[in-house]
Amino acid sequence: MNSRLKILKTRCRQMPEQPGVYIFKNGEGKPIYVGKSSSLKHRLLSYFRNFKPNEMKRKAMMSKVYDVEIIPLGSEQEALIKENELIKLWQPRYNIMLRDDKTYPWIKVSILDPFPRIELTRSVAQDGSLYYGPYPKVGDVKKVLDYVIETYRIRDCQQRIVEGIPSPECLSLQISRCDGPCVDKISVKDYRELIKKALNFLDGQQKDIIRNLKKEMDKAASLLKFEQASEKRDMILMAKSFQQGTFLKKRYFYKDTLKKLQEALGLKKLPSHVECFDISHISGSWTVASMVVFKKGQPSKKDYRIFKIKTVKGIDDFASMAEVIERRYSSNQKKDISLPDLIVIDGGIGQLNVSKKVLKEIGISLDIISLAKRFEMIYVEEEVDPVILSKYSDELCFLQRVRDEAHRFAIKAHRKWRDKKVLESPLRNILGVGPVLEERLLKRFKTTKNMSHQSIETLADVSGVSRQLAKKIIREISNEATRS
């Protein structure tokens, strides 16, 4: 074991013996693995023993670990949720599972519907529904949920039901599993009383169901139906797991995170409508700006926009940001488009100041902040010092998600535009100039027009370009210019 790992092992001996999440980082401080454990100390120390032949992947990972960070939590279930969130946020190299949105199941209650449904889902949407979870054992929770739905006669059909307007009779009604809201056999008020009882169960009040299950278990046993009695016994154990908190019960509201963000940053309004801007370029060429929109905590991709920077030459992120802010919000005034509750700028205090100046000149007053990648510092209007939110707080994770989405969208659009320009380049038609050399030339001289004004010696100074090829490049570009 080398000295670096020995130092890390010594640190891990000081870790607490409690549940939590641990983050392994590489030499650049970037997370490469996120894990959870009921005992942080024991789990972390397990990484420093001799590796078995089938643990080569873990050995390879540890060769790249330079730091470890922990987040102590109250329970293993809380660690489960936090691990899930951080893996989605960072996409660490050595986390294979949990990278997409479809992971541990949640229980969803569509509480905004007149006749709500209760169902399992593997993705959480900001749609006003109640979400409980996540649950690591889908089989167990599905059995308990089926029993709850059957006991309280909750509908499980996919129909959109409106009180007073009968719908086609569903299968659950035909087999007497529900009270028939689809054919108007139960009122909204009475149905919601059933939902209230089911929610009480999900909130930890399982005494009635456990009592009924015990009666059913005893009855089955008295009739010598031991297999059925065994199933009821298992159901009781699972229901008690809900009651004792073995399953984590967590209602998910997007407003909670946005409210925390509003309070932390002193925003005038709840940031239900957020617009975020990012600038992308390569050495000052093909500069574009992206604007992504989040509404009620979720991306609204139909509102995304790309701006090709028109007035700025070379590398000037401040001027580029000023241009895009002016273009975006000047057009808002003319078209009477709804303004956001919050503008987020990807950058530091400089980008924030130029954006504020533009908004003032336009005559628009909006909450605006910037999020700097270094230390994730948030610069807010009227504040000299940056706001630093808790590293793993929901509100910072939300801002990072918005910022990262703007960056992703800008990079995607930038590459698409750049590739289109490259395809239009006459360099593609010159024998001896491949994609790598083409990009090398464009990065050095920006445009083919600039290349045509260079001497043979200057072009030949580029790696991979001979004097003969340099002559050919200048000749072909000049001929193309003449033809066009």
Peptide bond preceding 435 in cis form (omega within 30 of 0):
no
Residue 241 has pLDDT above 50, yes or no: yes
Name the burial class of residue 28, with classes exposed (0-12), middle (13-18) and buried (19+) by CB atoms within 10 angstroms of its CB.
Answer: exposed
pLDDT of residue 256: 79
Residue 122 has pLDDT above 50, yes or no: yes
Residue 155 has pLDDT above 90, yes or no: no
CATH homologous superfamily of 425-483 equals 5' to 3' exonuclease, C-terminal subdomain (1.10.150.20)
Distance CA(323)–CA(227), nearest Å, equals 72
pLDDT average, residue stretch 4-28:
91
Q: Residue 453 has what DSSP assignment?
A: T
Residue 247 has pLDDT above 70, yes or no: no
CATH class of the structural domain 256-419 = alpha beta
Give the residue carrying structure tokens 């987020």.
344
**CA-based R_g, the chain, Å:** 30
pLDDT tier, 244 (very low <50, low <70, confident <90, very high otherwise):
low
- Per the prediction, the chain carries an average pLDDT of 82
The token pair at 134 is 């996540």
Q: Which of residues 112 and 12 earns the better pLDDT score?
A: 12
Least confident of 16-30, 99-113, 440-454: 99-113
Residue 142 has pLDDT above 70, yes or no: yes
List alpha helices for 104-187, DSSP H. Answer: 138-152, 171-174
pLDDT average, residue stretch 46-51:
83
Helix (H, G, I), strand (E, B) or coil at 139: helix
| Residues paired with 310 in a beta bridge | none
pLDDT of residue 132: 80
Distance CA(345)–CA(372), nearest Å, equals 9
Domain ranges across the chain: 3-90, 106-244, 256-419, 425-483
pLDDT tier, 100 (very low <50, low <70, confident <90, very high otherwise):
very low
Distance CA(257)–CA(83), nearest Å, equals 18
The token pair at 419 is 């590739």
Percent of the chain topping pLDDT 70: 88
Distance CA(401)–CA(126), nearest Å, equals 15
CA atoms within 13 A on the CB side of 197: 15
pLDDT tier, 327 (very low <50, low <70, confident <90, very high otherwise):
very high
pLDDT tens digits along 391-401: 777 788 889 88
- Listed residue (447, 481, 313) closest to 438, CA to CA: 447
Among 29-43, 134-148, 173-187, 207-221, the range of highest mean pLDDT: 29-43
pLDDT tens digits along 54-94: 677 888 899 999 999 998 888 877 788 788 878 877 889 88
pLDDT of residue 480: 67
pLDDT of residue 101: 46
CATH of 3-90, one of 3.40.1440.10, 3.40.120.10, 3.40.50.300, 1.10.287.610: 3.40.1440.10
pLDDT tier, 105 (very low <50, low <70, confident <90, very high otherwise):
confident
Distance CA(299)–CA(87), nearest Å, equals 19
Least confident of 248-252, 342-346, 366-370, 431-435: 248-252
pLDDT of residue 200: 80
pLDDT average, residue stretch 147-159:
83
Give the residue carrying structure tokens 């997370």.
31
Residue 288 has pLDDT above 50, yes or no: yes
pLDDT average, residue stretch 406-415:
82
Residue 343 has pLDDT above 90, yes or no: yes
| Residues paired with 342 in a beta bridge | 274, 367
pLDDT tens digits along 259-271: 999 999 999 999 9
Q: Which of residues 424 and 14 earns the better pLDDT score?
A: 14
pLDDT tens digits along 417-445: 666 655 556 776 788 888 788 888 888 88
